[in-house]
């Protein structure tokens, strides 16, 4: 597994991966295709223009395997010192092979401090993934807290890296 920092030159690659990510989330997050047959997604430019954001490609055996978008600042409390996994995606062919956990652990090592990981309660596979990845990284059982955010029920894992 290799975690590669992106530049704006990687925007089209990330846009393509974000479409796959949105498709994966479409059922649990209630996402719908636009008239053009694509999911409407937030802009990526802030990940290269704002110092509190970073975007990474995840490579597995030299191939594109996914992406991670991180941001400084809690989307829950507004605390500017908390790191947030904004979006995280691993292609299905690389799931259950340790690629996602290795990528997440590498991110937490590169960006030490307090972290929050938010997961929709309707996304059971993601809940299991984050529970395992975080517990293995911290060496402790980190239990999520349930909350409502943006009209959706979420679980939030809070921990120190």
pLDDT at 66 over 90: yes
Residues 6+ away with beta carbon under 8 Å from 105:
133, 136, 137
Domain that holds residue 149: 2-160
Question: Listing from the earlier edge strand, what are the strands of the sheet with 145-149?
Answer: 2-5, 53-60, 63-72, 83-90, 114-120, 152-160, 145-149
Smallest CA-to-CA distance from 71 within 60, 61, 82 is with: 82
pTM: 0.95
Domain count, the chain: 1
Kindly state the average pLDDT of the residues 36-47: 95
Helix, strand or coil, per DSSP, at residue 32? coil
* Distance separating alpha carbons of residues 97 and 82, to the nearest angstrom: 29
pLDDT of residue 19: 98
Which CATH number characterizes residue 38's domain?
3.40.630.30
């Amino acid at each position: 597994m290799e975690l590669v920092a992106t530049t704006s030159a990687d925007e089209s690659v990330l846009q393509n991966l974000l479409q796959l990510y949105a498709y994966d989330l479409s059922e649990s997050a209630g996402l719908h295709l636009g008239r053009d047959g694509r999911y409407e997604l937030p802009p990526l430019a802030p990940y290269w223009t704002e110092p509190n954001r970073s975007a990474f490609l995840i490579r597995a055996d030299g191939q594109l395997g996914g992406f991670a978008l991180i941001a400084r600042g809690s989307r829950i409390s507004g605390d500017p010192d908390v790191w947030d996994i904004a979006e995280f995606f691993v292609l299905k062919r690389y799931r259950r092979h340790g690629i996602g956990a290795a990528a997440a652990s590498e991110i937490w090592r590169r960006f030490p401090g307090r972290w929050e990981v938010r997961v929709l309660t309707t996304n059971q596979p993601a809940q299991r993934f984050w529970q395992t990845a975080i517990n293995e990284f911290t060496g402790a059982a980190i239990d999520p807290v349930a909350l409502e955010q943006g009209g959706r029920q979420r679980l939030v894992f809070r921990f120190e890296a």
